[in-house]
């Protein structure tokens, strides 16, 4: 098991346009977001902000099998009906491709949902079934990736699991042999849709070179 402590510096700018200052999303390591111990990772998405903020684990080394797990709390996060954004991602080393990513959305009827997306070798993006996520409650989430073997064996995998409830959604048996995991990020890792705002929290991040037992 590999763990990293969230002590990375995050550069967040305030952009001035004429006399108007555009609010920016921010992040911090503090006690406000501690599920265990004294510190956790806090992200605050400012209304209308378009910047990203995240911490990165660079210990993965072109992994063909990878799993990341963390505790997550929506706190006072407001997503807006049908809006979504990316909260975790496993990245290709030295490239922008995303072998696996975790997204969150909100619906006025069904509440918060999480799911994973992964790319086929042909560039088509697949999405898993969505999994329920409780609001303003610490829950453990897990994102898993497996590279297909190639040679006609299409056994690629992208799976999201709410460990706290046992609910899971997966994309299975597809061709993704072009992708491997070289980095992992959590936070506001992709540009969020405008309705998203508020504070949400992460803690107890861990990464593995195996799928869940």
Q: How far apart are CA 12 and CA 71, in angstroms?
A: 24
Q: How far apart are CA 134 and CA 35, in angstroms?
A: 15
Residue boundaries of the structural domains of the chain: 15-208
CATH number of 15-208: 2.60.120.200
Q: What pLDDT digit, counting tens, does each position of 75-122 carry?
A: 998 887 767 888 888 888 766 678 899 998 888 888 999 999 999 999
Measure CA 82 to chain center: 18
Q: What pLDDT digit, counting tens, does each position of 167-203 carry?
A: 999 999 999 999 999 999 999 887 676 678 899 999 9
* Token pair listed for 28: 């911090």
Q: What is the pLDDT of residue 2?
A: 37
Residues with Cβ within 8 Å of 79's Cβ and at least 6 positions away in sequence, in order, are 85, 104, 105, 106, 112, 195, 196
Across all residues in the chain, what is the average pLDDT?
85
Half-sphere exposure (CA, 13 Å, Cβ side) for 168?
Answer: 13
Q: What is the pLDDT of residue 95?
A: 64
Residues with Cβ within 8 Å of 161's Cβ and at least 6 positions away in sequence, in order, are 131, 141, 142, 144, 167, 168, 212
Q: What pLDDT digit, counting tens, does each position of 25-66 carry?
A: 899 999 999 998 999 999 998 888 888 889 999 899 999 999
Task: Give the percent of the chain with pLDDT over 90.
Answer: 57
- Kind of pairing between the strands at 53-57 and 183-188: antiparallel
Q: What is the pLDDT of residue 72?
A: 96
Tell me the pLDDT band of 12, cut-offs 50, 70 and 90.
very low
Q: What is the pLDDT of residue 14?
A: 34
Measure CA 98 to chain center: 11
Residue 18 has pLDDT above 60, yes or no: no
Residue 5 has pLDDT above 60, yes or no: no
Return the sign of the alpha-carbon dihedral for residues 10, 101, 77, 139: negative
Q: What pLDDT digit, counting tens, does each position of 119-162 carry?
A: 999 989 999 999 999 999 999 999 999 999 988 899 999 999 99
Residue 57's region, left for phi above 0, alpha for psi from -120 to 50, else beta, is: beta
């Amino acid at each position: 098991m590999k763990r990293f402590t969230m002590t990375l510096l995050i550069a967040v700018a305030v952009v001035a346009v004429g006399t108007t200052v555009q609010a920016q999303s921010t992040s911090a390591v503090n006690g406000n977001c501690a599920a265990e111990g004294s510190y956790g990772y806090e992200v605050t998405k400012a209304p209308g902000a378009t910047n990203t903020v995240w911490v990165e684990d660079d210990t993965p080394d072109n992994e063909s099998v990878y799993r990341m797990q963390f505790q997550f709390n929506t706190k006072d996060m407001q997503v807006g009906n049908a809006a979504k954004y990316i909260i975790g991602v496993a990245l290709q080393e030295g490239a922008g491709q995303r072998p696996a990513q975790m997204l969150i959305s909100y619906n006025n009827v069904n509440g918060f949902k999480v799911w994973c997306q992964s790319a086929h070798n042909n560039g088509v993006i697949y999405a898993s079934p969505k999994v329920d996520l409780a609001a303003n409650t610490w829950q453990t989430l897990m994102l898993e990736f497996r590279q297909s073997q190639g040679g006609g064996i299409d056994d690629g995998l992208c799976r999201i699991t709410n460990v706290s409830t046992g609910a899971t959604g997966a994309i299975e048996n597809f061709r993704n042999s072009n992708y491997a995991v070289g980095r992992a990020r959590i936070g506001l890792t992709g540009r969020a849709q405008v309705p998203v705002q508020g504070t949400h929290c992460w803690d107890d991040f861990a990464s593995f070179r195996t799928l869940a037992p």
